[in-house]
Structure 1
Amino acid sequence: MDTHFLDSFVTVADCGSIAEAARRMNLTPAAVAQRLRAIERELGQTLVTRSGRNIQVTPAGLAVLDAARALVSGARDLRAIAAQGVPAGKLRLGATATALTGLLPGIIAALRGRHPEVEYFVRPGASVDLYHLALSGELDAALIVRPHFAIPKSVGWTVLRREPLVCIAPADSPDDDPHLLLQRLPFIRYDRNQWGGKIVDDYLRDHDLTVREVLELDALDAIAAMVHRGLGASILPDWAPPWPEGLRLRKTVLHDSPQREIGILWRRSGARLAAVEALVQVATSAFAGRPVTASGSASATGRSAESPPRG
């Protein structure tokens, strides 16, 4: 039985959608559906049924789901176990949207140069979701925002980047104090349900700033694009470049602000521990302790930004 096909079944069951499972596995929906049919023929049972655009796992599928999950996990561990302490096997990583573009490519490129036997599966998501997936063992490591509560000792944590808050406004805004701009212009809020959004909310509260909120979004690049279009102002962490191309923003560092800490969270045990530790070592060497200047470049640091911000 092909464990890749079993993995497709498990992923479809977890996602509730063939399209979403295909996106996560970097396959076409047709390829995922073909794998499902092959597993069903081999087992002689229907494992999933369609309900509109969603997928429902049948009683037969539920009966074998835990065993299928264990087989997939065991097969994934075999390569790492056979390597006898040498970094190898397939790492399951999570990353927030900004870490996915600003940090993870450099980390994987460096790790691949040192340890070509390591393979990767990357799952994007919000910090809170990736945190719980790492704790449950579904992910080996995750690049996330530091939570506002104590991290269990069963996992490791190291900070890779500290990001100050910046006030962003349309490029043609008056060169006023950022607090005046925030109170004068409509406010586009970074989602308070996100850990980074909570930092922004705390800043507004600590400085007794009353804003006229018109939107609340969880995508930082979308907020920056809204501001570029003249729809309002916002406070965002100065995330790792790249920022979207073509934006014209007035960007001011809030020097008295708390910082959003981006770090790597990893499991301290498991068959792929050697590969995980190699990943952490590479990430720490590349980013930890590096001073973070506002914007990460000279193109839009604490002044009116007529050119696209790069950080």
Structure 2
Amino acid sequence: MSIRELESLVAIADSGSITAAAERLFLSVPAVSAQIASLEAALGTPMLDRRYKPARLNPAGTLLCERARAVLNSYRQFYETVANTADLAGVLAVGASPTVLTTVIPKTLVALRSAHPRIQIRMQYGRAWNLLKDLQHGQIDALIISQPPVSMGNTQWTQFAQEPVTVIAPPGAKGRNDESLLAEYPYIRFGQRFWVADTIAAHLAERGIVPQQIMQADSREAIALMVRHGLGVSIVPESDPPLSKLYGLREVALGKPPLTRNIGLAQTPGNPKQALIDALLHGLTEATVSSRMKPAPSRSLGGT
């Protein structure tokens, strides 16, 4: 029985399938299947109920999974205690929403690698709710996300930046302000599955603005191209460099004062990699200062 085999078992339990577990662990499906087969051979009993598609943990697998989590946590604590005796070192698994700080994150990773070459960063992008579950299950160590709309249990979120939310319009659009642009052009809605979409919708409703929505897209870049070709206007978090510069669009602040979304780092208390997480947060704050994004007074939100 090996640590890798236990990691595969826990990943299947948390993600729901061997395929999803393989993606999470950055392994092939056959590799994860082989690790489970080896674990079953060592224990002399199946861990999965293969009558279901996808296969799921059987009672024996569920019982072992509970013990495996404790073993893996002890292993990580042991590893980090030894690795951190001299300099910051170890593997830090970091999740991020694909819409958040697309320039700041790479700058941070470059600076972090230069300052602490023994730190290895494993980035994982996905939907915020899924990544929060990964964080709470110990699959990732930290998560770069916008401010969650609800309590996150024992998860702590520390704000370090603000992103403006802006109206983007075709080159040469003649509307005087955000309201006139939204009234005169069809509306391309930015990804309903992102938290910022609800923030935007609430802002528009509060002002009594009802745009004529014609379509929806999850990618800022895809929306920018549609706007550039005159299909309509949209409301998106500002990027760095701004979409107006990259695609020649007109960009107007949304609201007075302008609407922003708060960006922060989420973590769970008691992580043995706290020193690495602190270094990451420091790097993100420094990179934000040197970018077009607005640094925010550091503040924390903890669940109850």
TM more than 0.5: yes
Give the distance between the partners of 1:85 and 1:270, measured in 2 at CA: 19
Cα 1:55–1:109 change in 2 (3 A) is farther
The secondary structure found in structure 1 opposite 2:140 is coil
Cα RMSD of the aligned pairs, angstroms, is: 3.3
Give deviations 1:157-202, integer Å, cap 9, x for gaps.
131x322122123446555544233223322223456331122113
Residues 1-311 of structure 1 aligned to structure 2 (within 5 Å): 1-50=1-50, 54-82=54-82, 83-84=84-85, 86-99=87-100, 101-131=102-132, 133-134=134-135, 137-148=138-149, 155=156, 157-159=158-160, 161-171=161-171, 173-174=173-174, 177-191=177-191, 194-228=194-228, 230-241=230-241, 247=247, 249-254=249-254, 256=256, 257-288=258-289, 292=293
Structure-1 residue corresponding to 2:298:
none
1:86 deviation in Å?
4.3
Structure with the larger RCO, 1 or 2 (CA within 8 Å, 6+ apart): 2
The secondary structure found in structure 2 opposite 1:68 is helix
1:235 deviation in Å?
0.7
TM score, norm. by length of structure 2: 0.80
1:208 deviation in Å?
1.9
1:54 deviation in Å?
2.2
The count of aligned residue pairs is 292
**Identity percentage of aligned residues:** 29
Unpaired runs of at least 5, structure 2: 295-304
Give the distance between the partners of 2:180 and 2:13, measured in 1 at CA: 50
Give deviations 1:188-234, integer Å, cap 9, x for gaps.
22345633112211331233211112334444344334434544321
The secondary structure found in structure 1 opposite 2:163 is strand
Mean alpha-carbon deviation: is it higher for 58-67 or for 174-183? 174-183
Give the distance between the partners of 1:51 and 1:247, measured in 2 at CA: 52
Cα 1:202–1:276 change in 2 (3 A) is same
Matched residue type, 2:214: V
Give the distance between the partners of 1:195 and 1:85, measured in 2 at CA: 40
The secondary structure found in structure 1 opposite 2:293 is coil
Mean alpha-carbon deviation: is it higher for 188-197 or for 284-293? 284-293
Give deviations 1:12-59, integer Å, cap 9, x for gaps.
222122222222222222222222222222222222244675232222
Give deviations 1:35-89, integer Å, cap 9, x for gaps.
2222222222222244675232222211211112222232222221123484233
C-alpha contact 1:93 1:139 (8 A) present in aligned 2: yes
Mean alpha-carbon deviation: is it higher for 169-178 or for 207-216? 169-178
Cα 1:125–1:223 change in 2 (3 A) is same
TM score, norm. by length of structure 1: 0.78
The secondary structure found in structure 2 opposite 1:158 is strand
C-alpha contact 1:169 1:227 (8 A) present in aligned 2: yes
Give the distance between the partners of 1:137 and 1:242, measured in 2 at CA: 35
C-alpha contact 1:112 1:118 (8 A) present in aligned 2: yes
C-alpha contact 2:200 2:235 (8 A) present in aligned 1: yes
Give the distance between the partners of 1:17 and 1:154, measured in 2 at CA: 26
Mean alpha-carbon deviation: is it higher for 134-143 or for 73-82? 134-143
The secondary structure found in structure 1 opposite 2:100 is helix
Give the distance between the partners of 2:264 and 2:144, measured in 1 at CA: 6
Cα 1:60–1:241 change in 2 (3 A) is farther
The secondary structure found in structure 2 opposite 1:188 is strand
Give the distance between the partners of 1:231 and 1:50, measured in 2 at CA: 49
Give deviations 1:131-175, integer Å, cap 9, x for gaps.
46545655322111023567889735131x322122123446555
Cα 1:68–1:132 change in 2 (3 A) is closer
Matched residue type, 1:253: A
